[in-house]
Amino acid sequence: MPVFQEHSSFCRRRSSRFAAPDYVYVYWRGEGMDDVSKVRDLSVGGLFLSTQRRQRDGTKLKVEFLVQEGQIRAEAIVKRWEASNGLGLRFTAISDEDRHRLATLLARLRSFRTETRRKNATRDGD
């Protein structure tokens, strides 16, 4: 798998994260453990998973999304563990084909977020 080319940035996070709807899940595995977890948020650079399964920082994982955009597979590394929340992962490798499907998924999440804001603004204005 080709490795992401990371660009330097003055902010800690290199790309915007989008909250994932309740139906976005990922299968992940690494170091003899595997699980299916809800994706809390997602960006081109990584994701945050809701899980109680602890993984050490630096652990290499393989992740697989099964979403309407098609299967998206990537390699990731654990960046942080939050005991009450889950795992923060940074993508380390993803094929061009899967990167395209990830971009399509992010576009859908962006429109989901925009639509949710629009509905909330309409509701709050009543």
Domains and CATH numbers, the chain: 18-124 (2.40.10.220)
Q: What is the pLDDT of residue 126?
A: 59
Q: What is the pLDDT of residue 99?
A: 96
Token pair belonging to 6: 């990371």
Q: What is the pLDDT of residue 5?
A: 40
Torsions phi, psi for 115 (to 5 deg): -65, -40
- pLDDT at residue 66 above 90? no
CA dist 37 and 113 (Å) reads 21
For residue 48, the cross-strand partners are 41, 88
How does pLDDT run across 77-100, given as a tens digit for each residue?
999 999 889 999 999 999 999 999
pTM score = 0.78
CA dist 102 and 93 (Å) reads 12
Q: Nearest Cα to 110, choosing from 26, 43, 25, 39?
A: 43
CA dist 7 and 109 (Å) reads 23
pLDDT confidence tier of residue 3, bands split at 50, 70 and 90: very low
Contact indicator for 70, 37 with CB cutoff of 8 Å: no
Q: Are strands 60-67 and 25-30 parallel, antiparallel or unpaired?
A: antiparallel
How does pLDDT run across 5-51, given as a tens digit for each residue?
443 333 454 567 888 888 899 999 998 899 999 999 999 999 999 99
Q: What is the pLDDT of residue 107?
A: 92
